[in-house]
Structure 1
Amino acid sequence: MPETRGFEEEEALLEEAREPFITEIAKNIHLYNITSSAGRVYGNVFFSTSPMTLDDMSESVGMSKTSMSTCIRQLSEAHMVERVWEKGVRKDLYKTEDDWYKSFTEVFIDRWRHAVISNREAIAATKKRLEDLRNDAHYSETIKKVEHDLEKLRDAEEFYSWLNDVITLFETGAIHDIVPAKKEKPNKSGS
């Protein structure tokens, strides 16, 4: 006959079972430019069966309410949590964004669109300076190096043009035509 456990013991086992996922989220969330502390907060909100207040999160993770507020702001900006409303509750409530594809897409677009724009501007400025130098250069060695650099920048331009097309696939949702989202329906029997 199986050993009977108390409720607190089972709750502790549940927390222990969740820990590997929470740890990995915290470890890898830097890819979203978010701190590992916010990753731990995310993991706790993710497993919560109902929306959580900052106080709930603070108690669950063992962080100050101020730190919790910073973490929630980071997660909100990354579209990973959202504020929800419940009748009769005055405090802000948060839950994780259910659509992981959406939150990834939003972060991917935000971060990479900015990078593409910045890098294209840098390429244009560098090309202008190199072209001006080539036009004023007196030495063939300098002109050769400028031509080499301009060729490298053309390769970079092609890459950022391609990356811009990839970003557009995400913005328009066409990425899902190429790589459909994996959404399995759970078996009603729970298995």
Structure 2
Amino acid sequence: MKDHEILERTRTIVIDAIAQNMHLYGITASAGRLYGLLFFSDKPLTLDEMKEALGMSKTSMSVAVRSLLDLNMVEKVWVKGERKDLYAIKDDWYECFFDYFTIKWQTAIAMNSSAMEKSIAKLQKLIAEPETSEEIREQAFIDIKKLEERLDYYDWQNRLIDSFETKEILNFVPIEKKKD
């Protein structure tokens, strides 16, 4: 086996692993392969170069690039004299991690908190209605308590997210390993 083949096979192993695990991030396997391709590329690539290397349609490639851009895992790069858009992975994996989780968590928290706050308001109106039965009123109080406890949890998650955004989390979990 030639050295070049060994190099390509080792890269393929990593790219395949990345592609298989990208579903954990809500990303398709094809976007994972694209990320792996950009990881090993020694220069930013155009959509056409990526399409050719991965054998994907231009539409699929564009969707994959967009999803990686939205998660701040890939960035558009400017190169003097180049007219086409070029893309490269972001080198700071720690920042990518922070960005990904804060984006995903904030979206989920906002959606769930909003639904719960609206439900609490409706349950409070239901409780206040004189014709509401005692059984329904008791169940509404129980539901409000559950929802308020969950909102407390989301408050904690928001504070955790804040520690990611400010990098305060690194005071507790530093990037460098502690030396024994």
TM-score, normalization by structure 1? 0.84
Alpha-carbon shift at residue 138 of structure 1 (Å):
4.1
Q: CA deviation at 1:80?
A: 1.0
Cα distance in 2 for partners of 1:63, 1:26 equals 14
| Aligned partner letter, 2:44 | P
Identify which of 77, 101, 117 aligns with 2:94: 101
Equivalent position to 1:140, from 127, 134, 137? 134
- Give the aligned partner of residue 163 of structure 1: 157
Correspondence 1:10 to 2:19? no
Match of 1:112 in 2: 105
Pairs aligned (count): 176
TM-aligned CA deviation for residue 139 of structure 1: 2.7
- Once the two structures are TM-superposed, the CA of residue 96 in structure 1 deviates from its matched residue by 1.0
C-alpha RMSD of matched pairs (Å): 1.8
Measured against aligned partners, the alpha-carbon deviations of 1:136-185 in whole angstroms (never above 9, x if no partner) come to 254322222112111111210110110111111112111111211248xx
Are 1:85 and 2:117 counterparts? no
Q: Tell me which residue corresponds to 1:48.
A: 41
Mapped pair 1:19 → 2:6: no
Distance 1:92 1:167 in 2: 32
Distance 1:138 1:84 in 2: 62
Q: Which runs of 5+ in 2 are unaligned?
A: none
Structural mapping, 1:53-68, within 5 Å: 53-68=46-61
In structure 1, the partner of 2:121 is 128
- How far residue 38 of structure 1 moved from its aligned partner, in angstroms, is 0.7
Structure 1 residues 182 and 54, CA gap change in structure 2 (3 angstroms):
farther
Q: Which residue identity does 2:121 align to in structure 1?
A: K
CA pair 45-144 structure 1, distance change in 2 beyond 3 A? same
- Using the TM superposition, give the Cα deviation of residue 94 of structure 1 relative to its aligned residue in structure 2, in angstroms: 1.5
Q: Distance in 2 between matches of 1:149 and 1:27?
A: 40
Distance 1:148 1:95 in 2: 51
Percent sequence identity over matched residues?
A: 43
TM-score normalised to structure 2 length: 0.88
Quote the offset at 1:12 in angstroms.
Answer: 2.7
Q: Secondary structure at the match of 1:164?
A: helix
Q: Distance in 1 between matches of 2:176 and 2:167?
A: 15
- Once structures 1 and 2 are overlaid, which stretch shifts more, 16-25 or 43-52? 16-25
